[in-house]
Structure 1
Amino acid sequence: MKSVEPAPAAPPGPEQAPPSVTSVKPARPAPTARAGYRNRDWLHGLLMSAPAVVGLIVFVGVPFGYAVVLSFYNVRLDSPLAPSFFGLEQYRRLFTDPDLSGPFLRALLNNLTFAVVVVPVQTALALGLAILLNRKLKAIGLFRSLFFMPVVFPMALVAVIWRLILARSDQGMLNSALDAVSFGNWGAFDWLGDGATAMASLIVLSIWQGVGFQMVILLAGLQQIPGELYEAAQLDRASRWQQFRHVTLPGIRGTLVFVAMLTSVLSFRVFDQVYVLVRGGGLDEDATRTVMYQAVTTAFDQNNIGQASAITVVFFLIVVVLTLIQRRVVRPGNED
């Protein structure tokens, strides 16, 4: 009896070809499901940002809106009369009245001088400290804490400390050190009261107190750069300067932009150290008067709330314009 062999199977035709793995596409969620995911993400984002948004509205938006309203009125703390509507008179006086425009423009110039020096110097110094402390050494945490420590000190305390350092008398720490180095030939110099050194003293004080904060931000950015990039640069025999230019700077470009913008905003709102040193340290008021100092003294020394509100509104608009220009100039290259 012959065995019947099975006939070879015919090759599958085009209509019988098994589906390839690459041709299988994952099933897409229904539009309603995608919409639900988006709605949940939007709701979660809203809930997480709600405390910050509420705080921003309550402590920034509402006071600024009230300041805008007060700037159109003649409001004085020492007057029993009700506030009267002034329209744009406060703004006109701010730019045309010599008694008001002179101090305001001088304060604005002092603010710009302070920012032009502090922003690049403090950012560069913070970057240098961050690179120096981005090492795996013993007790590196202690050194980081020491450099960050001035940040946690209140600015009023920092101003008092530097008032003792820069005191005019022979008991001032800086004058005593210079007198010892010069073998008694250094006299008692008034670092705070002299107009030529008052702003420089204020700048040094502010950089010493704030550089640690920028250093921590830049240090976090440095630690996010992959170590493989430095290893590849070393294999290509790149020098330390080339590694810094082509690996470090591109890796922290966004962080540097953020630090520069943050330092700019903080430098424009300088007030505490000026007020403490002017009132108790003999700081030259005309050489270091800032716009915030001008607004506070106008409101509470001259009791002119309306004029102080106009100063803050104009200064806010100036800072916003300068910040937008700075962001446009130094924004990362990957932004549109």
Structure 2
Amino acid sequence: MTTVNPAPATPTGRKPTSPPRSAKSKRPGRRNRDWLHGLLMSAPALGGLIAFVGAPFVYAVVLSFYNVRLGSPLPPRFFGLEQYRRLFTDPDMSGPFLRALLNNLTFAVVVVPLQTGLALALAILLNRKLKAIGLFRSLFFLPVVFPMALVAVIWRLILARSGDGLLNSALDAVTFGNWGAFNWLGDGLTAMASIIVLSVWQGVGFQMVILLAGLQQIPGELYEAASLDRASRWQQFRHVTLPGIRGTLVFVALLTSVFSFRVFDQVYVLVKGGGLDEDATRTVMYQAVTTAFDQNNIGQASAITVVFFLIVVALTLTQRRVVRAGNED
């Protein structure tokens, strides 16, 4: 005759009880419902992403393999990789494209640290409990509300070469009439600098708001403890502020990097109506648009966008890997 050993008692003297079967059977169903609810909630965003980003990019990839001309009565002709070969070997196409890519990289290398650092400084400055602080925050954020085309028009009036240009007029008044009318937009040495200044002025408020939200999440007790330890302002910034917003700062830097490669509106508006030096400020997006609609070469413009997309994705992934490795260290 066999005997059944009783279950070991718990420290309280009670036998352990297993969860009811009904609870176990409900878990997979609940997980499926949560997954379904999450999918339904993200469906509008996914649908918009597929409709306005995924589908146009796939169509651009298809068009890059054809010779497609706007207004041409001839049907599209399959070109294979010819558009990509011309983009890197034909001097008439590779020269402007490589110059545009270099301008894009120059813009990004300058704008990302400059705009991120300025946004951090403004966020720290506005993270105070002062009267009318909300008004100052609104004033710094106000340029973000303006469309980039409007910002370009405003800065065209500021940087105009004629005596009516606000910057030239101010410098002429300060130098008692000894300042000549300088062509800020038309000179190759200052054209890209002008685009950088107006871009940072328009976009720094957006990064400032994100960093300001991160600063407000840092517990005030940390600063109080640092003050008791007689830490200076710089030490508090290094050992309390920066670690507290490290993730937010990385996010802002990545976001600014992506935005810096999309520069187009200000360049197009100022080139077409402001006398901007085209060669010194030509970007890849500007090159793609002018190739498509000025030269009517849709296939070549599609190849430019596909190559540029792959370059931006590679740079973004590399930046994320470097940042992740730095965080792990």
Matched residues in 2 for 1:155 and 1:75: separation? Answer: 31
Matched residues in 2 for 1:192 and 1:203: separation? Answer: 12
Q: 2:211 aligns with which of 203, 215, 218?
A: 218
Which is further off, 110-119 or 243-252? Answer: 243-252
| Alignment length (residue pairs) | 323
TM-score, normalising length: structure 2: 0.94
- Superposition RMSD in Å: 2.1
Q: Determine if the alignment matches structure 1 residue 150 to structure 2 residue 150.
A: no
Which residue is 1:140 aligned to? 133
Q: CA deviation at 1:330?
A: 1.8
Matched residues in 1 for 2:233 and 2:139: separation? Answer: 27
Q: Determine if the alignment matches structure 1 residue 69 to structure 2 residue 59.
A: no
- The 5 A counterparts of 1:107-118 are 107-118=100-111
Q: CA deviation at 1:227?
A: 1.1
- The 5 A counterparts of 1:74-223 are 74-223=67-216
Query: Which of structures 1 and 2 has the bigger CA Rg?
Result: 1
Matched residues in 1 for 2:281 and 2:207: separation? Answer: 24
Unaligned runs of at least 5 residues, structure 1 = 1-14
Cα deviation per residue 1:73-96 (whole Å; 9 max; x = unaligned)? 000002100000000000000000
Task: From the superposition, tell whether residues 212 and 22 of structure 1 become closer, same or farther in structure 2 (CA, over 3 Å).
Answer: farther
**DSSP 3-state at the match of 1:131:** helix
Q: Determine if the alignment matches structure 1 residue 240 to structure 2 residue 233.
A: yes
Task: From the superposition, tell whether residues 269 and 18 of structure 1 become closer, same or farther in structure 2 (CA, over 3 Å).
Answer: closer
Which residue is 1:11 aligned to? none
Cα deviation per residue 1:283-310 (whole Å; 9 max; x = unaligned)? 0000000000000000000000000000
Matched residues in 2 for 1:216 and 1:236: separation? Answer: 30
Q: CA deviation at 1:331?
A: 3.0
Q: 2:298 aligns with which of 278, 288, 305?
A: 305
Matched residues in 2 for 1:22 and 1:112: separation? Answer: 70
Q: 1:20 aligns with which of 9, 12, 34?
A: 12
**DSSP 3-state at the match of 2:257:** helix
- The 5 A counterparts of 1:221-300 are 221-300=214-293
Which residue is 1:10 aligned to? none
**DSSP 3-state at the match of 1:331:** helix
Do the aligned partners of 1:271 and 1:290 also contact (CA within 8 Å) in 2?
yes
Matched residues in 2 for 1:25 and 1:112: separation? Answer: 64
Amino acid of the residue matched to residue 270 of structure 1?
A: V
Do the aligned partners of 1:257 and 1:332 also contact (CA within 8 Å) in 2?
no
Cα deviation per residue 1:271-326 (whole Å; 9 max; x = unaligned)? 00000000000000000000000000000000000000000000000000000111
Residue identity (%):
86
Q: 2:37 aligns with which of 33, 44, 49?
A: 44
Structure 1 residue runs of 4 or more that deviate by more than 4 Å after TM superposition: 15-19, 21-29, 332-336
